[in-house]
Amino acid sequence: EDVVKPLLEVTRTALLHDCTLLCGW
C-alpha cells in the first residue's frame, strides 16, 4: 500500500494539472 499512495497522489496531481490546463483554455 505504501507504493499505491504516492502513485495515487501523482495521478491526482496530474489530473488536477490537466483540469487546470483545460480550464485555462
Query: Residue 23 has which C-alpha cell?
Result: 480550464
Residue 10: alpha-carbon gap to chain centroid: 5
Our CA angle for 24, 7, 2, nearest 5°, is 150
Q: Output the pLDDT for position 13.
A: 94
* pLDDT tens figures, 1-25: 788 899 999 999 999 999 888 887 6
DSSP category for residue 25: -
Q: Output the pLDDT for position 8.
A: 94
**Residue carrying C-alpha cell 483545460:** 22
Q: Output the pLDDT for position 3.
A: 84
Please tell me the pTM assigned to this model.
0.54
Q: 3-class DSSP state for residue 5?
A: helix
**Residue carrying C-alpha cell 507504493:** 3
